[in-house]
Every structure is written in structure tokens, then in C-alpha cells.
Structure 1
Amino acid sequence: MTRRPARLVRVLSSTLAAGTLLSTAACSDDAGAEGTRVQGVTASRAAAQRQTPSPTATLSTDGARTALITEADIEDDWTQVKDTEAKSWHDSLLIGTVDVSDFLTAKAQASDCQRLLDSLFDDDLLGRPSGASELRGFRQGDSRLLYQVASYDRTDPQDSLNWMATLPEKCDQFTVTDGKERRTVQVVEISLPQVGDARQGLRVTVQGSTGGDEATLTLDVAAVRVGDDAITVTAGGLDGDENDSAQQAVRQGTQRLKDVLAGKSPAASPTD
């Protein structure tokens, strides 16, 4: 893994005709009723998404630390690393400038894709936390898992989740250039356990070369909102995706955060 160069720091029915005027009017009424119903359902879903029934106690630094997952939460052969090592993880395959020519709407879409890569490199997928923030890293072969708990009480993590939801369409496939090297990036949506107040998952695949060597980086990225707080998980590496571990981290981590916000001690981590 390399440090990011300074020059790249902030640069992942047609409509059927009715036979008669009466049937046209009837169809129009039906369509209007259906449109109203659909709008109502959409509005209800949006309102439900913005509700925060989970505890909203202020997350302290100690609380965020307590809410972090452990090796037992993700099982397999993951080994926890020192915090200083986890904070220094920056993958060079994520460095580069998005090729604007890949996009129909050019700068607008390219900007979203550049933001994705930059936020994955900088470990701030939901933006900079406005409150307490803690992270923990795990290693397994050439794969890594970074888990973060943070408070966004003066910002809105839901805005970032909504932005993430647009990326599989906006950034489904694009090219990144880094000097003479060109890499292909693909972004698809992944499902997550139905936990927290809102959630979004992505799989980001980067294919290309670094230092002249061909490589493929696969990352499963997940974010879950619990009130004004959130957890984020980034898992994967050159060995391929780590979806099972990411799913476990999301499930166990969300419950740990909810317990902390409710003033409870998180349940003991599962054991084999």
C-alpha cells in the first residue's frame, strides 16, 4: 500500500389508445388513481426511511470504541491489527483521475465517481464525522477489513446513503488514469442484512495495473445508519471479495452500536 501523492489528494409503451371516449376517461381516472397511489407509497417509504426509531443518545468516544467489532464477530481467520496500521491503509489502485469521456453527462457523473474513489482511499465514505469516531482493522492474507463507528450529529448520514444508492447507475463502469496506467472500475449494488434505520451496500472492482503488475482489487463496501450515527465496513483486497465477513460485520456491528446507544453492554461476540 502506498501513501497518496499530494497532487491527487482530492482530485469508487407506447400508450394504448382507448376505443371510446368513455373508456379513455375511465383509463385516465384509473391512471390518476394509480399515480396517486404510487406517489403515496413513495412518500411513505421516504418518510419511513427518515424516521429514526433507534436510540438517539449522544455517542461518546468511549461508546464508539465499545461499539467496535472484534475478531469473533467476523470469524474466519481475521487478525486484528494495531490502530496505527489500520489508519495508514490506503490502496494505490484507488488513486487516479476519472476519465470524463466515459460519461454521457460528463462532469456531473465523473465527479460522483471521483468522490467514490477518493472517499474509499481516505476512509470517509459518509463524509467527515462531526462527532466521536473510532475504527478497527483486520487482516486475512491479502484481504483487509476496516470497520468504523462514527457520529454525524451535525451533518446528515442519510444524504450520503442516498448518494451511494445512485452510484451503481452513475458509475457502473468507468476508466481511471494514473500517469500512464489505466484501470477499469465497476460498481454494483449488494444486499445487506435488514438492520439499522437505513443501509446501502456496494461492490467496487478495480482492474488494471500498479507498478507494471496486473492486479484486481475487489471491495465490498457497506454503510448502516442508526439515528445520527453510522457504521461503515470496507472488506476485500487482491484475494477477491469478502462478502460473508462484510455481512457478519454489518449484522453484529449494528447491534453493538444500538446496544451502546441504549445504554446497554453489547452482547458477547459469537464463538465457533
Structure 2
Amino acid sequence: MIRRPSRPARVGVAALAAGVLLATGACSDDGGEETTAGQSTGSPTATPSGATARATPSGALTEAQAKTALITEADIEDDWTQVDDAEKWRDTLLAGTVDVDDFLTGKADAADCQRLLDGLYSEDLLGKPSGASALTGFEQDDSRLLYQVAAYTGSSLDDSMDWLKSLPQKCDEFTATGSGDSNSTVQVIGASLPDQGDARQGLEVTVQGTADGAPTTLTLNVGVVRVGDDAITVTAGGPDGGQPDSVDAAVEQGTGRLETVLKGGTPAPSPTQGY
């Protein structure tokens, strides 16, 4: 295990943030699977043993339902502003190749960590959806929040949820090499989420590297909630730090919206309280 470096000073200027959160590339449908690493400090978010699973409606998620299930600015409050080009977002600090030498127990864990980085960069953390999907994004100062609703096969979701749960132990802390042979240190820990859906997993991913020649730290909070064969994926943060409260709000409100549309209903225009 490599020694954790000291956290560099946060860079708050807009020019640097633009270098870290470069909005280029193709839409998220072109992305592959992803993976991350870290040390678990929060409570895992799988369904508790013996808990009764929530009943999920039958029938495949439609494109119209996926779009209706997306959250709005009101659901996450604060000063978030919805944008039109979220499918083109790419965080350049996430574009790197995992250093296999960091993994003394085998290369399989390194592959899982590479899957995490690739998934976060391509904005398809659970892999390519098998059916309908919809995506939206929000900006607040130098932070961004990406929200996706998508349909998957049951077996692929089983595998993805198990994979997410394993990342804090498998990857812990590792080095990734980016463009120009610059190195970044990636740290991942588990994080708790509101008790929503049939299963859930939270992560906090911190990438310490260089952007525009200056030391930079990118912190992302990640929340994934399963509802039957559908899932909600939320990623939020930036060079000024993570956004755990906004991820919790998105999970709380978004799960209710998805469950409502799957039952054939229409979500309320104003969010319900409780997060």
C-alpha cells in the first residue's frame, strides 16, 4: 500500500475548474463499464439481511418513463442549475491507466479499479443500459451533478451491485497515470445512502493529481440505487469538494419518482420532505 499524500490546496478559480472538468467527448451511451477503489469507512448500502424487499412493478421501463423519473432543480435545492449538455461531460483527472504494480495480490483487482475510472469518466458506471435510459445534469459553482435513470438486465445489475460493494476493499488506494505521464493518487471509501430502493451503494472517490500544471484534488460522491431491474446513478462533486448532501437528496427524491412512474403514476411537481 502506498502512503497517502497530503491533500493539496483546493483550487477554486474558474479557469482551473474548467481544466479539471473538461466538457468534451461523446455521450454516455458510448461509455463502457467502470470501477473504483478505496477503504470503506461508511456503512455499506446493500439490503439488510432478513429485510423484506419492496415490491416492484412488472413491465420494462420506457423512454418516456425514464425521462419523467429524472430529478429537477427543486429535488436537490441549493443553487444547482440544470444544463443541456451533461452527456458530454468528462472529468480529465479520471482519464488514466491504473498502475498494476500497486496491487501485490494480483492483477484482477487492478482491472476492477480500471473499470471504475473508465466508468466514471464515460459516465456509465453500471455499464451500457439494456433498455431505456435518460440523463440530466446540474451545475453549482465549480461542482457538477450527473443523474441517470436506466434499465438493465437483472443479472448485470446483480454483478454491478456486487462489484460496487467490493471496491473499497479491492482498490483501497492506487496510482493512475494520465496524459503526459502525470500521476494521480486515487482513494475510494464506502459511503452511506438513504434507505431507498431494493439495494444501494455509496462511494466517495478522491483523485489527487495535476490540472493545468497546478496540484488539484477532485472529489466525487457516488450513489447507486436499484429498483427492480432499473437503477439510479448519481455522481456529484468537483475541485471544491464532494456533494454528499445533494447526492442523498437526489437518491431520496429520485427513487420515489422512479417508483411512481413504474406504477403508472406521475411524480409530484414539488419534492417530498424527508432527506
- Shorter-chain TM range is 0.7 to 0.9
Asked whether the 8 Å contact 1:4–1:92 carries over to 2, the reply is no
Structure 1 residue 247: Cα displacement: 0.2
Unaligned runs of 5+ in 2: 1-21, 37-47
Structure 1 residue 148: Cα displacement: 0.2
- After superposition, the Cα gap between the structure-2 partners of 1:137 and 1:256, relative to the gap in structure 1 and judged at 3 Å, is same
Provide the C-alpha distance between the structure 1 equivalents of 2:272 and 2:263, rounded to a whole number of angstroms.
24
Kindly indicate whether residue 93 of structure 2 is the aligned counterpart of residue 114 of structure 1: no
Once the two structures are overlaid, the 10-residue window that deviates more, 146-155 or 260-269, is: 146-155
Asked whether the 8 Å contact 1:181–1:210 carries over to 2, the reply is no
Aligned pairs (5 A) from 1:64-213: 64-82=66-84, 85-153=85-153, 155-178=155-178, 179-213=180-214
Structure 1 residue 105: Cα displacement: 1.9
Asked whether the 8 Å contact 1:148–1:231 carries over to 2, the reply is yes
Q: May I ask how many residue pairs the two structures share in their alignment?
A: 234
Structure 1 residue 172: Cα displacement: 1.1
Structure 1 residue 52: Cα displacement: 6.0
Provide the C-alpha distance between the structure 2 equivalents of 1:174 and 1:222, rounded to a whole number of angstroms.
21
Asked whether the 8 Å contact 1:203–1:219 carries over to 2, the reply is yes
Structure 1 residue 4: Cα displacement: 6.4
Once the two structures are overlaid, the 10-residue window that deviates more, 205-214 or 87-96, is: 205-214
AA aligned opposite 1:262: K
- After superposition, the Cα gap between the structure-2 partners of 1:227 and 1:52, relative to the gap in structure 1 and judged at 3 Å, is farther
Q: Match for residue 254 of structure 1?
A: 255
Q: TM-score with structure 2 length normalisation?
A: 0.80
SS at 2:209's partner residue? strand
SS at 1:117's partner residue? helix
Provide the C-alpha distance between the structure 1 equivalents of 2:209 and 2:25, rounded to a whole number of angstroms.
18
- After superposition, the Cα gap between the structure-2 partners of 1:211 and 1:194, relative to the gap in structure 1 and judged at 3 Å, is same
Q: Larger % of helix: which?
A: 1
Unaligned runs of 5+ in 1: 13-43
Structure 1 residue 53: Cα displacement: 2.1
Identity of aligned residues (%): 59
Structure of higher RCO (CA pairs closer than 8 Å, 6+ residues apart): 2
Query: Rg larger in 1 or in 2?
Result: 1
- After superposition, the Cα gap between the structure-2 partners of 1:154 and 1:194, relative to the gap in structure 1 and judged at 3 Å, is closer
Q: TM-score with structure 1 length normalisation?
A: 0.81
C-alpha RMSD of the superposition: 2.2
